[in-house]
Amino acid sequence: MRKSRKHYELRVLAIRITLIVTDGKADCHTLCPDFYGNQLYTDEVECSFSPDSTNIAVGSSEGMLFITSRRDLSNTRALIIPGIFSPSETKLSSAKAFDFDPRFPNSRIAFGTLNGEIYLIDVSGDHDLKSGYVDCADRGMIQCLRYVPRGRYIAVATSEACIDIYDPDTLSLKLVLDAANQDSVPMEIDRNVYPRFLSMNFTTTGNHMASASTDGIVRVWQLPPDLTLQHLCRQLILTKVKVTEIRKLPIPPKMMLYLLSMTQSTSLSETM
């Protein structure tokens, strides 16, 4: 992406032996109406290739989101905001609040809105289809959204210092990773200037996730390979009992070790 004043230009560059040449370019505001930066130059823009690399999704912190063809940047595949949604109706919650579903070559995308909603959109047919929706406004403002590799879950980082894990089809909440309730380096929430999640990334197996935030901490989380009843029971207990209080519980040692195994592995942190 290249910004000129308040305009953004999308460019695809190709490496030809030792040269880097422009393989395609287009003005974002011609592809997506109202795709402009703000007057303070504090806006952000993110791009993401579809799993098969045929499409490019572009989102901005000003709330716009569209999908264009990789081979012909002037060919807008889907106008999501504005398009399926009017900007007066809702906006993308942040430039990093969208991602392609890795289970589909190029047709399904998930995104979060300023209204605290998560949508699944299918753009494969003649008409864009809202294939999934959940209202999670009570979970806090959506700051970042990413699919776990192979599309097992959708991870959503929020202003409540939590990373919520959703089922990719039903959008039911499966797991909550609470950065404020960590044994080693908890995220301290300031309601006026709270720490913000900047990014999330996963190992190729999807068993571990790293999150970076504006409190200067990179946190490494262990994700469950499968959300079994046993694991869900453990997560329910951990939402009611602080990590520092687990050792005080009147429970068998084996059960205590099981509860602590997740909390210790999810509290691995490094100071940036």
Q: Which of 139-148, 189-198, 214-223 has the lowest mean pLDDT?
A: 189-198
248 φ, ψ to 5°?
Answer: -90, -5
Structure tokens at 147: 């699919």
CA–CA dist 81, 202 (Å, integer)? 28
pLDDT of residue 158: 92
pTM listed for this prediction: 0.78
Rounded mean pLDDT of the chain? Answer: 83
Per residue, what are the HEC states of the chain? Answer: CEEECCEEEEEEEEEECCEEEEEEEEEHHHHCCCCCCCCCCCCCEEEEECCCCCEEEEEECCCCEEEEECCCCCCEEEEEECCCCCCCCCCECCCCCEEECCCCCCCEEEEEECCCEEEEEECCCCCCEEEEEEECHHHCCEEEEEECHHHCCEEEEECCCEEEEECCCCCCEEEEEECCCCCCCCCCCCCCCCCCEEEEEECCCCCEEEEEECCCEEEEEECCCCCCHHHHHHHHHHHHCCHHHHHHCCCCHHHHHHHHHHHHHCCEEEEC
pLDDT of residue 210: 93
> Is residue 4's pLDDT more than 80?
no
How far is residue 246 CA from its own chain's centroid? 31
> Is residue 45's pLDDT more than 80?
yes
84 φ, ψ to 5°?
Answer: -65, -35
> Is residue 266's pLDDT more than 60?
no
Amino acid at 35: F
> Is residue 177's pLDDT more than 50?
yes
What integer is the mean pLDDT of 122-148?
81
pLDDT of residue 195: 79
Q: Of 197 and 20, which is predicted with more confidence?
A: 197
Q: Of 200 and 253, which is predicted with more confidence?
A: 200
